[in-house]
Amino acid sequence: MSNDDKRPWPQAGRERMIFPTPIDICAFGVKDPHDELLAKMDQGSVFMMGDNPALPRMPEKPTLIDFFNLRFTGMTLHHLTTAAKRAYDEGCSEKVIMACLLHDIANGCLLRTDHGYWGAQLIAPYVDEEVAWAVKYHQALRYTPDPAVGYPYPEAYKKFFGEDYDPPAYIKRDAAYAMQHPWYMTARYVTMYDLYFFDDVEPVKIEFFADIIARNFRQPEEGLGYDDSPSSHMWRTMIWPNNFL
Ligand SMILES: [Fe+2]
Ligand SMILES: [Fe+2]
């Protein structure tokens, strides 16, 4: 947030209560504070809506680069930029570089589960169809070796999930579909530049890709999240992850 940002904070003068995201209540057993928080409303507290001062403040018209810098976890940012840099250094097309840069974007600040599918929907209105396709299918292809192009089952996955992990049927179905598709190699390159252990990899700033993003990502004039695309609400969820409704 820049120091000359004079926008007032919403809901001034009141305690702003944060209700946990239902998936966290379900997945982690976070206590459902429903009754307790409703009771506090009688004492003047409100449920949080809009900018949360505990998070870096997003500009009024956020760009893709703002999400990388102000919302994504450090690990995701590093992972995405280094994957894209590998593709760049190998002389890949800008579509492949963009797919690498965006492949795990759902993990940045939204959801991990089925991240390829979520990520593809998030970016679909703004990128070439082939880029969103590659992001969707990289998830299934990561589990699927292809000796013909030199892609083995990842050693990292043996550690992540155990040697005996067997992916579910929809992953196998979608990988088989992707492998006979004309865009197969775009998604396959994503899996080939997808590094998990990168102690020795120099961090790359997202700004390195500014020109490629400008050519390949349709930044909406209103700001990402405030436009009216089929995935605007997903970007808004990252801007305001604490909104009650
Ligand atoms: Fe991934
Ligand atoms: Fe990845």
Strand partners, 17: 47
Q: What is the pTM of this model?
A: 0.94
Q: What pLDDT does 200 receive?
A: 72
Backbone angles phi, psi at 231, to 5 degrees: -120, 10
How far is ligand 2, taken at its centre, from the CA of residue 80, in Å?
7
The Cα 61–Cα 222 span in angstroms is: 6
Ligand nearest the Cα of residue 117 is 1
DSSP letter at 149 equals: G
Q: Which domains, from first to last, does the chain contain?
A: 15-57 (no CATH), 64-238 (1.10.3210)
Residue 111 pLDDT: 93
| Closest-approaching ligand to the CA atom of 100 | 2
CA of 104 to the centre of ligand 1 (A): 5
For Cα atoms 208, 210, 214, give the angle at the middle one, nearest 5 degrees: 155
Cα dihedral 47/1/56/215 (nearest 10):
110
Beta bridge partners of 146: 151
CA of residue 134 relative to chain centroid, distance: 14
* Ranges of the chain whose pLDDT falls below 50: 1
The confidence score (pLDDT) of residue 24 equals 86
Ligand positioned closest to the Cα atom of 195: 2
Predicted local distance difference test score (pLDDT) of residue 197: 65
187 closest CA partner among 100, 85, 113: 100
Instruction: Count the Cβ atoms, other than its own, within 10 Å of residue 71.
Output: 20
Q: What is the pLDDT of residue 185?
A: 98
Closest ligand by atom to 194 CA = 2
Ligand nearest to the CA of 119: 1
CA neighbours closer than 13 Å in the CB half-sphere of residue 176: 7
**Residue ranges with CB less than 5 Å from ion ligand 1:** 104
